Amino acid sequence: MAARSYFDWNATTPMRPQAQAALTSALAVLGNPSSVHAEGRAARQVVERAREEVAALVGARPANVIFTSGGTEANMLALTPAIEIAAEKEPRDRLLMSAIEHSSVRSGGRFPSRLIEEVPVTRDGRVDLAKLAQAVAGPSRPSRPLLSLMLANNETGVVQPVAEAAAIVHAAGGLVHVDAIQGAGRMACDMGVLGADLLTLSAHKIGGPMGVGALVRCDEGIHWPEPLIRGGGQERGLRAGTENVAGIAAFGAAASAAGRNRAAEAARMRRLRDTLESGLKTITPEAVIFGETAERLPNTTLFALVGIKAETAVIAFDLEGVAVSSGAACSSGKVAPSHVLAAMEVSPALRGAVRVSLGWTTSEVDVERFLTAWRKLAGALSRGRSVAA
């Protein structure tokens, strides 16, 4: 097979060697982690070691990590009016979310649609804190809002002002859920610093396997009287079902490696991304890079050029041995206009954008292959060939 370059790390990452080793080792462990015999205790030890590793990545206590089947389930578990805290047993009466959230948050979880309110974002793709403050203070009666705000956007990579937003919501007696799926492992992600009451993680975004995630609480006082999945009482009664021991072990190993290598990997990815964007602009000065002036993840570029359809560009890149995407990989391969760019008030002519996301194995050769492919694609466009819209 001809050499290929993978630039879709925001969709999924390859498994880290540490995660592969942990997965293989855990597959040999016999025993249900809920059993009390020696085999069961051995399986439980694997799960609890991984819980410690995941907790360390986000500055949490291991007891507050709840393993799930992935980020979507973790978001669904978090987004419910029936969240109890030590001092407040009344249900949450509003769900606030930014207009650029992932589809698993935009679905609203277990909140009825009448209790859901979107908060606008600025043109650079950051949640509008003034609008958030207005939304929090909106009802004439006291309210108990839950804000769901991503740490970094999955399409643009723009980092959100989570700590500032959390301060606004907490001052009004609300709770804050942070979808940290794209940010964890690529930027600092400490729950205490962020002011997050709840935080979502996904293994396959940090070098672990698909099908494993976690919802992390800031403290054990946060409780769900009605878990999303009820049954045998696993995960401290908050998520029933026998734990995926091997997947969880790999998740823990990936979290440990991601935390340990984060600074070096981020610096390297940022350098390569800047080289890629410089080359992109040299080839097509009229190309627009979204969120270019805002703080972004070190690995993410979302760009567009008038006259190129995103789906056409993705196919053209693929034929040149380069894997990119047209945005979030959460719609079973469907290509649709970006709700993120619409929220940023981007012209419809530019909403068919291409997302390029790098990772820890991306090389200078990969960047050059991308630029060579883009030069060919842009050249064909300028000659009026079939790649035009």
Domain check: are 230 and 251 in the same one? yes
**For residue 130, what are the contacts with CB-CB under 8 A and spacing of at least 6?**
none
For residue range 305-320, list pLDDT tens digits in order: 998 888 989 999 999 9
Domain check: are 164 and 136 in the same one? yes
User: Residue 153 is part of which domain span?
Assistant: 17-256
Q: What band does 332 get if pLDDT is binned at 50, 70 and 90?
A: very low
What CATH number is associated with residue 323?
A: 3.90.1150.10
Window from 94-98, 167-171, 223-227 with minimum mean pLDDT = 223-227
For residue range 125-173, list pLDDT tens digits in order: 999 999 999 999 876 666 899 999 999 999 999 999 999 999 999 999 9
Domain check: are 205 and 323 in the same one? no
| Cβ–Cβ < 8 Å for 15, 254 | yes
Q: Is the pLDDT assigned to residue 329 strictly greater than 60?
A: no
| Cβ–Cβ < 8 Å for 44, 33 | yes
Domain check: are 76 and 201 in the same one? yes
Quick check: is 157 in a domain? yes
Domain check: are 63 and 139 in the same one? yes
CA distance 171 to 177: 15
Q: How many domains does the chain have?
A: 2
Q: Is the pLDDT assigned to residue 99 strictly greater than 50?
A: yes
pLDDT of residue 388: 40
pLDDT of residue 386: 45
CA distance 101 to 118: 9
Quick check: is 355 in a domain? yes
Domain check: are 291 and 215 in the same one? no
Quick check: is 43 in a domain? yes
pLDDT of residue 352: 81
Q: Is the pLDDT assigned to residue 88 strictly greater than 90?
A: no
Choose the catalytic residue: 171, 193, 330, 365: 330
Quick check: is 389 in a domain? no
pLDDT of residue 385: 44
Quick check: is 291 in a domain? yes
pLDDT of residue 86: 82
Quick check: is 217 in a domain? yes
Q: Report, as an integer, the average pLDDT of 69-81.
A: 97
What percent helix, strand, coil does the chain show, rounded to 5? 40, 15, 45
CA angle in degrees (0–180, nearest 5) for 380-386-389: 100
Domain check: are 209 and 156 in the same one? yes
Q: DSSP letters of 224-262?
A: -SS-SS-SS-TGGGTS-S---HHHHHHHHHHHHHHHHHH
Domain check: are 271 and 252 in the same one? no
Quick check: is 388 in a domain? no
Q: What are phi and psi of 149, to 5 degrees?
A: -140, 125
Q: Which of 226, 256, 286 marks a domain boundary?
A: 256
Domain check: are 297 and 250 in the same one? no
Q: Is the pLDDT assigned to residue 265 strictly greater than 90?
A: yes
Q: What band does 356 get if pLDDT is binned at 50, 70 and 90?
A: very high
Domain check: are 207 and 321 in the same one? no
Q: Which of 209, 233, 256 marks a domain boundary?
A: 256
pLDDT of residue 62: 98
Domain check: are 232 and 286 in the same one? no
Q: What band does 191 get if pLDDT is binned at 50, 70 and 90?
A: very high
Q: Is the pLDDT assigned to residue 79 strictly greater than 80?
A: yes
Q: What band does 251 get if pLDDT is binned at 50, 70 and 90?
A: very high
State the average pLDDT for the chain.
Answer: 93
Q: What are phi and psi of 121, to 5 degrees?
A: -120, 165
CA distance 385 to 389: 10
Q: Is the pLDDT assigned to residue 224 strictly greater than 50?
A: yes
What CATH number is associated with residue 153?
A: 3.40.640.10
Domain check: are 168 and 313 in the same one? no
Please confirm, yes or no, whether 189 is among the known catalytic residues: no
Token pair for 204: 């396959």
Q: Which of 256, 283, 314 marks a domain boundary?
A: 256
Quick check: is 387 in a domain? no
